[in-house]
Amino acid sequence: MMKNVVEVRDLVVVRGGRDVLPGISLDVPAGVTGLLGPSGCGKTTLLRCLVGAQRVRSGSVEVLGAPAGSGELRTRVGYVTQAASVYDDLTVGENLAFFARVLGVDRSSVDRVIDAVSLGDHRDQVVGRLSGGQRSRAGLAVALLGEPELLVLDEPTVGLDPVLRRDLWELFHRIAEAGSAVLVSSHVMDEAERCHRLLLMREGRIIADGSPDEIRANTGTTDIEAAFLHLVEGER
């Protein structure tokens, strides 16, 4: 049985007087887990809770056996936001050297993560001049510096062409195969087939949890988009 790296219980987040997350519970196991749902359904809020960047009303969030946001998780959890968290006026190498110092990790990690995301040919290029896909890789490289046991990715493939999306998903699987758990949010339903496990989300709630095959079988559908629509229709 796969060990859960994330355990969320009865999580409530209130913003603007509205329950963004109305008391949800979920587990994230090893491997690649997809968090899928339409824009505005609460995916980013949930991910922020996992990394300790979101104020919560009640409930518990445990990551790698510790409360989310704990100091001990600083290098054990990597987080990539929708906007790449790198400095446009620095080169790829300079960005990584800076964040390596901030995280207190060995400088040799810079070479390792540049190779991991295939940015060796762009190491000395200013980030502001990179393509969208290359910027995404640079942001991912920063998150990999501490060799995280959990990598949290908030819509990392949005706006990318099909080739770059494919390449990034192949990288996510290599990271998982090397021993890290990967949680990827997306509103693109066809990315579901690239995941070992899925969490389907709507209006702040988890409406399905299982492998793609399990979710299709449970809904009697042939693809995840149809499964999602079936679940939504069933709520009406």
Q: How far is CA 74 from CA 22, 94, 122, 130, 196, in A?
A: 27, 21, 27, 28, 26
Convert the pLDDT of each residue in 16-51 to its tens digit.
889 999 999 999 999 999 999 999 999 999 999 999
In this structure, the number of other CB atoms found within 10 A of the CB of residue 115 comes to 12
Q: What is the pTM of this model?
A: 0.90
Query: Are 118 and 50 spatial neighbours (Cβ–Cβ below 8 Å)?
Result: no
Query: For residue 11, what are the β-bridge partners?
Result: 24
pLDDT tens-digit profile of 96-122?
999 999 888 888 899 999 998 889 999
Render pLDDT for 188-225 as a digit per residue (tens, 0 to 9): 888 999 999 999 999 999 999 999 999 999 999 999 99
What are all long-range contacts of 43-46, with beta carbons under 8 Å and residues at least 24 apart? 43/154, 43/155, 43/185, 43/187, 43/201, 44/82, 44/154, 44/155, 44/185, 45/13, 45/15, 45/20, 45/21, 45/204, 46/8, 46/11, 46/21, 46/201
The confidence score (pLDDT) of residue 1 equals: 39
Q: Rounded CA gap, 102 and 90, in Å?
A: 15
Q: Strand (E) positions, the chain?
A: 4-15, 18-29, 32-36, 58-63, 66-67, 77-80, 150-154, 181-186, 197-202, 205-210
